[in-house]
Chains A and B, each alone.
Chain A
Amino acid sequence: NAGVTQTPKFQVLKTGQSMTLQCAQDMNHEYMSWYRQDPGMGLRLIHYSVGAGITDQGEVPNGYNVSRSTTEDFPLRLLSAAPSQTSVYFCASSYSEGANVLTFGAGSRLTVL
């Protein structure tokens, strides 16, 4: 089925470890984004991309890196995990920035010990 696929669904890390959350979409969407969802904080934008080769920072970018080498993929890298990065991460995409309905992935639950 067409949509946004996130892997892994669950991950436990130790402080200081690095990892990559994968996001892939097969809808030929130009716009892709990463959010984190925390209790009482809602969803906050981490990074986003308006097309291959273009990325920009959102509201809470510190501690995360992204790249967009293809239209389909938008991985989120945690360089040195911290307990404050324990959260549920969502990837979302749309045809273009702003104007269209966002399609969300199922989420990746990350725990940093």
Chain B
Amino acid sequence: KQEVTQIPAALSVPEGENLVLNCSFTDSAIYNLQWFRQDPGKGLTSLLLIQSSQREQTSGRLNASLDKSSGRSTLYIAASQPGDSATYLCAVISNTGKLIFGQGTTLQVKP
């Protein structure tokens, strides 16, 4: 059974710092991996999608990497801003199409 783990559960950093959020999964047979952002009381917004054949995707200050063989993905946020404060979730899509979420990392960026 696929399990997705995100560590740490919470992270607090000063504004301007570069940071890395981690996501690990137990079954490397994935179709793709997505990173989402969730603001308090809101739905999820897709940030980046990495196909299983890709190693990374970039969008602005965000860069997501994927290493299927080790069962890991990282979300790199450059020059963090207070507006980046949110919960970040990763989700893997299995080859059967099922989306399995991690429990998320809650990020606080202090001014």
Contacts and interface: CB of A to CB of B under 8 A. Distances in A.
Given A97-B97, A98-B97, A42 B42 contact: no
B34 A105 contact: no
B31 A42 contact: no
A58 B98 contact: yes
B83 interface: no
Nearest to B4: A42
B31 A99 contact: yes
Given A58-B98, A98-B93, A106 B43 contact: yes
Contacts of A51: none
Contacts of A74: none
Contact of A90 (B31, B43, B97): B43
Most buried by A among B4, B89, B97: B97
Interface residues of A, number: 25
Nearest to A43: B101
Contacts of A106: 42-43
Nearest to A31: B97
A92 B93 CA distance: 14
Contacts of B97: 50, 97-98
A102 B89 contact: no
Contact of B44 (A40, A58, A90, A99): A90
B46 A42 contact: no
Interface string B85-110: 00001010100011101111000000
